[in-house]
A and B are shown apart, each in its own frame.
Chain A
Amino acid sequence: MLKRWSLLCLLALLALPAAAAVQPGQAAPPLSLPLLSDGSPAVLALASLQGKVVYLDFWASWCGPCRISFPQLEQLRQELGPRGFEVLAVNVDEVEADAQRFLAQVPVTYPVVRDGTGETPRSYGVPGMPTGFLIDRGGVVRLVHQGYRKSDGADLRAAIIDLLGEQAP
C-alpha cells in the first residue's frame, strides 16, 4: 500500500504542470520594462502601444532563429508601421552586453526592452525561443508564433495585415 502511494506521489511530483502559455484570444499580460537600445532608464509599457497591432518578440542573443527574424521584423515594421504596426522586442539575455553586441550586428529601429529576471517570459509562458505574440489593437493576443524560419515572414505579414484591417474596440 505504502509502495503504491509513494509511487503515485512521485508521479504527481513529476507531472507538476509548467506555467501555461498565453493562448490566442487571451488578453496580453501587462508589461513595463526598461529600454535596452539607448541605455537610459526610460521604461516602455505595452499599454502605451494600445491601439496598434504589436508583435511582442521574446529573443536572446544566443538564439539562432532570432538572428533571422530581426531583419524581417524590421522590414515589416518599415512597411506596415505607418498603418499602425509596431514591434516590441523583449530581450531575455542573462548578460546585457551580449544583447548589445547582437544589436550592433543586427541593428533595428523598433524598441527593444530588457528583462533579465525572467519574470515577463514566465508570465507569458514563453514555450521556446524565439516566441512572438501578435497582439491586436484591443490588446488581445491573436497569434503565437514559436521559432522563426526565413519563410515565416510572408505568413506573418498576412496575419498582421488582417489585424490592421480591424477597428480598435
Chain B
Amino acid sequence: MKQLALVLFAVLALCGCETVEPWERGVLAKREMQWQTDPRESSLQAQIFASKEASSGGQGAAGGGCGCN
C-alpha cells in the first residue's frame, strides 16, 4: 500500500514536468533569470577571487596573489 502511494505520488509529481520549448524561452533569457546577471562583473570577480585566494584551476591561470595575472 505504501509502495503504491509512493508510485502514485511519483506519477503525479511527474505530471508537473513540462518541457520548455525553444521558442518559449523569452522570459528565461531575461537578465534577471541568469545565474550571473553581469558577465563582465562576474568574470572580474572570478579573476580577483582566483588570485587573492590563491586558488587555481577552472578559472584560467594561477597567479602569485597580486591580482595582475
Interface on A for B, CB 8 Å cutoff? 2-3, 6, 9-10, 13-14, 18, 58, 60-63, 92-95, 98, 118, 121-122, 126-129, 131
The interface size of chain B toward A, counting residues with CB under 8 Å, comes to 16
| Residue contact B26 to A3, C-beta cutoff 8 Å | no
Query: Nearest residue in B to A61 (C-beta to C-beta)?
Result: B26
| Residues B1-26 near A (CB distance < 8 A) | 3-4, 7, 10-11, 14, 19, 21-26
Write out the residue numbers on chain B whose beta carbons fall within 8 Å of the beta carbon of A2.
3-4, 7
Report the minimum CB–CB distance from A51 to chain B (whole Å).
28
In the A-B complex, the 8 residue pairs with the closest CB atoms:
A62-B29, A92-B23, A6-B7, A121-B23, A62-B26, A128-B22, A129-B22, A94-B26
In the complex with contacts A3-B3, A63-B29, A58-B23 CB distance below 8 A: yes
Query: B14 touches which one: A13, A60, A94 (CB < 8 A)?
Result: A13
Inter-chain contact A118/B10, CB cutoff 8 Å:
no
**In the complex, chain B residues whose CB is within 8 Å of the CB of A122:** 21
Cβ-defined partner of B19 (8 Å) among A6, A18, A62, A129: A18
B30 at interface, CB cutoff 8 A: yes
**Could you pull out 13 A-B pairs where Cβ atoms are within 8 angstroms?**
A6-B3, A10-B11, A60-B26, A62-B25, A62-B29, A62-B30, A118-B21, A118-B24, A121-B21, A122-B21, A126-B21, A129-B22, A129-B23
Closest B residue to A92 using CB positions: B23
- Closest chain B CB from A135 CB (angstroms): 19
Contact status of A9 and B11, CB under 8 A, knowing A60-B23, A121-B21, A126-B23: yes
The interface residues of chain B, by DSSP majority, are classed as helix
User: Which residue among B23, B24, B25, B30 has the maximum number of chain A CB atoms within 10 Å of its CB?
Assistant: B23
Q: How far is the CB of A119 from chain B (nearest CB, A)?
A: 10
**B-side contacts of A94, CB under 8 Å:** 24, 26-27
Q: Is the CB of B10 within 8 A of A10?
A: yes
The answer to whether A127 and B22 have CB atoms under 8 Å apart is yes
Other 15 A-B pairs with CB < 8 A, given A9-B11, A10-B7, A93-B26: A2-B7, A3-B3, A6-B3, A13-B11, A60-B26, A92-B23, A118-B21, A121-B21, A121-B22, A126-B21, A126-B23, A127-B22, A128-B22, A129-B23, A129-B25
